[in-house]
C-alpha cells in the first residue's frame, strides 16, 4: 500500500497566511510521521514557507498554464517550481477552471510535479482522471468547511469516485475532502478506497493545530 497522504490547504484563513502560515508550516514540519504530510500555501507564502521548513512538502493553491510575458496577475508554473513548490491544487471548488486549463497545465509542469485536480462529483472526477493528474480529490462543495465529514455524510461519493477513477486509470491517486476533522475521518477515507485526504479548517481554524494534526494522523 502507498504511504497515506494528508494534504492541509491553508486557503486564506487568518491563522494560515503570512507569518501565521510560516508558524503552521513549522508545526507540520515538527511532526514525526510516516504519513505524507503536505502544506498547500498561498503563492505569497510559498518561498518563505519552503525556506523555513525545507523538509516539509509544500504545494501552491493554484497555477495558470501561461508562458513568460504580458500576463498580469497570473501564476506561472515555472516560478512556483523555482520557489520550491512540489505540487499544486487545481480546480478547487473555490477556484474553478476549465478542463482545457487543467490539460494545458499538465502539459507544462515537470514530470515529477504533483498536480491534484479537485472534483465536485463523480462525473467531474472521471473527466479529470482522463487527463492524467497525479491525484483527483473529490469534495462535495456543500460539505466544504462544514462539521460533518464527507466520509459520514456521503460515503457513496467516495467509493463511487474510487471505482470510477480505477475504471480509467490505475496510476491516478484518489483523495477525498470536505468536513475532515479527525483520525476516524481519515481512516474511514482510506477504507473507502482513497489514498488519503484533503482538508483545511480542521487544522487551520483549530486553536491547537499541533493537537489537531496529531489527532488526524492517530489512526492511520
Write out the catalytic residue numbers. Answer: 92, 139
Distance CA 102, CA 213 (A): 30
C-alpha cell at 54: 525545507
C-alpha cell at 42: 498561498
- Match 515538527 to its residue by C-alpha cell: 30
Own/partner long-range contacts of 140-145 (Cβ < 8 Å, ≥24 apart): 140/178, 141/93, 141/178, 143/178, 143/179, 144/93, 144/94, 144/177, 144/178, 144/179, 144/200, 145/178, 145/179, 145/200, 145/201
C-alpha cell at 219: 489512526
Alpha-carbon torsion (66, 68, 70, 74), positive or negative = positive
Strands 196-199, 5-9: pairing is: parallel
Distance CA 15, CA 52 (A): 17
Which residue from 69, 16, 1 is spatially nearest to 201, judged by alpha carbons? 16
Amino acid at each position: 500500500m502507498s504511504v497515506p497522504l494528508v494534504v492541509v490547504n491553508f486557503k486564506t484563513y487568518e491563522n494560515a497566511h503570512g507569518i501565521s502560515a510560516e508558524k503552521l508550516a513549522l508545526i507540520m514540519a515538527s511532526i514525526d510521521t510516516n504519513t505524507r504530510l503536505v502544506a498547500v500555501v498561498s503563492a505569497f507564502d510559498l518561498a518563505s514557507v519552503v525556506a523555513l521548513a525545507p523538509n516539509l512538502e509544500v504545494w501552491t493553491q493554484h497555477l495558470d498554464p501561461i508562458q513568460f510575458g504580458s500576463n498580469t496577475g497570473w501564476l506561472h508554473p515555472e516560478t512556483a517550481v523555482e520557489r520550491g513548490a512540489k505540487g499544486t491544487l487545481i480546480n478547487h471548488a473555490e477556484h474553478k477552471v476549465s478542463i482545457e486549463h487543467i490539460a494545458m497545465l499538465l502539459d507544462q509542469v515537470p514530470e515529477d510535479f504533483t498536480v491534484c485536480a479537485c472534483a465536485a462529483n463523480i462525473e467531474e472526477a472521471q473527466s479529470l482522471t482522463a487527463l492524467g493528474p497525479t491525484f483527483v480529490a473529490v469534495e462535495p462543495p456543500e460539505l466544504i468547511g462544514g462539521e460533518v465529514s464527507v466520509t459520514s455524510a456521503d460515503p457513496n461519493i467516495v467509493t463511487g469516485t474510487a471505482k470510477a477513477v480505477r475504471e480509467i486509470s490505475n496510476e491516478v491517486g484518489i483523495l477525498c475532502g470536505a468536513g475532515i476533522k479527525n483520525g476516524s475521518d481519515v481512516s474511514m477515507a482510506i477504507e473507502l478506497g482513497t489514498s488519503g485526504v484533503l482538508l483545511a479548517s480542521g487544522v487551520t481554524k483549530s486553536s491547537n493545530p499541533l493537537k489537531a494534526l496529531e489527532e488526524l494522523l492517530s489512526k492511520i
